[in-house]
Amino acid sequence: MTTRRTFLSQSAAITTAALTVPVLQADESKMSQLPRGKAEHCVFVWLGGGQGHLDTWDPKVKGDPKEKKPGSYYDSIETAISGTRVCEHLPRCATILDRFNILRTVNHDVIDEHAAATNRMHTGRPTSGTEQYPSIGSIVAQQRGTITDGVPAYVLMGYPNVTRGPGFLGPKYGYVHLTDTKSGPPALKRSVGITDERQARRETLLNAVRDDLRSRNGSEGIAAEYDAAIAAAQKLAGPEFMRLFDLNRESADLRHDFGGEFGQRCLLARRLIEGGVRFIEVSHNLNFLNGTGWDVHNEGILNQHKLIAELDQALSALVRDLENKKLLDKTLIVVATEFGRPAQFDGGGGRGHHGRCFSVVLAGGGLKNGITIGETDELGMKIVSRPVSVPDLHATVHCALGINPREEIYSGTRPVPITDEGEPVRELFA
């Protein structure tokens, strides 16, 4: 005889199974339909402050700040992509734009907060009061690791903050921060006067402390985590990684082609790629050539062209150099910023913030290059066709790197999809 309780329990189990199997099959089917690229590395060029899309990658009719006429600040020029024009201060990139893709309709709802918009672009999610989500660099590090032993998976040449960090993935997937392109991370070098003999005595003392900790705790615990961190640091301090910072190994002509400090960081990014680093962020708001960087309120816009020209030189040199090294198809370059700028001018002749549509540029990565995605209206203020959300952008980057954007990572025991329901821009995949 089957009791009422047994009957209800069995019926519930059968019903759950009947509902679950089709859902799982549907999810697996969707996953199998995702495009998968073959890129092995990513260089994430960050234009902190908010690069104006109208004044760079999505030019419109020319405006006039004195007359309060909205529009682009500069004239536009033709490019290697038929029908696509860019700012006149991007001539080097324009001639090789067929190696690029412009996403002109990236958008989000953050307008007046740089930190929140920067977090959105790096994590792909809104700021949370209860959870710190991992950055795209940390996710790539966790999913793909390094190609070569003895180098980090994730290197940051920019501002170290929680937005760029590993979040709930933990410090294992954090970044190595660089402040000097010439010498590498200073914390990985031995202090002056620390000979091999003295280092050996230190390690002997450390082993004694370790053994005492184990005997008192009865387990590896913290000691094992500390040992893993020390071992990783010692590997990074070795010659394989540190030699990558010797830019003098490159020809003077090539270094000149890349330009100033920002350009040298881009050149270093290529050397780090050759060394096996998976994800490199390079910030381009280092010297503030116009006094304000890309945050061009009021008079800050007057010398914006200097920033654009510096970006043009370094970015075009990086693309050409990677191409010459047969690395461009293996390296996805992403040129991103926190939001764009409106067509209207402020009281000082500059521009405010605009997140409803702005441009992100991709290059290389084995994608179908030479495609311009999306269209904005006559003043670049609204999306006319093909919107690309921030999760969509992240999903595109992950797919290009062979990462499933729907895979789940874990915050403790809570599963979190890699992207917030992002869909890759499929037009970019062969």
**Residue 247 falls inside a structural domain:** no
Same domain, 58 and 150: yes
pLDDT per residue, tens digit, the chain (430 aa), is 455 555 555 555 544 444 444 444 444 555 568 999 999 999 999 999 999 999 999 999 999 999 999 999 999 999 999 999 999 999 999 999 999 999 999 999 998 899 999 999 999 999 988 899 999 999 999 999 999 888 999 999 988 889 999 999 999 999 999 887 776 776 666 676 778 788 788 888 888 887 887 777 766 666 666 666 666 666 676 667 888 999 999 999 999 999 999 999 999 999 999 999 999 999 997 777 888 899 999 999 999 999 999 999 999 999 999 999 999 999 999 999 999 999 999 999 999 999 999 999 999 999 999 999 999 999 999 999 999 999 999 999 999 999 999 999 999 999 999 999 999 999 999 8
pTM of the entire predicted model: 0.87
Token readout for 333 is 């370059």
**Residue 244 falls inside a structural domain:** no
How many helical (H) and strand (E) elements, i.e. helices and strands, does the chain have? 11, 15
Q: Which structural domain range is residue 402 located in?
A: 35-188+255-428
Same domain, 85 and 126: yes
Same domain, 41 and 148: yes
Same domain, 205 and 352: no
**Residue 134 falls inside a structural domain:** yes
Same domain, 181 and 199: no
Same domain, 176 and 291: yes
Same domain, 331 and 402: yes
Same domain, 215 and 184: no
Same domain, 161 and 115: yes
**Residue 360 falls inside a structural domain:** yes
Token readout for 44 is 């994430």
| Stretch (H or E) spanning 409 | strand 408-411
User: CB neighbours of 350 closer than 8 A, spacing ≥ 6?
Assistant: 65, 296, 297, 298, 299, 300, 301
**Residue 25 falls inside a structural domain:** no
Same domain, 224 and 115: no
Q: What is the tens place of the pLDDT at every residue in 371-405? A: 999 999 999 999 999 999 999 999 999 999 999 99
Same domain, 85 and 162: yes
Same domain, 61 and 205: no
User: CB neighbours of 84 closer than 8 A, spacing ≥ 6?
Assistant: 97, 102, 372
Q: What share of the chain is helix, strand, coil (3-state, %, to 5)?
A: 40, 15, 40
**Residue 18 falls inside a structural domain:** no
Number of domains in the chain: 2
CATH number at 275 reads 3.40.720.10
3-state DSSP assignment of residue 44: strand
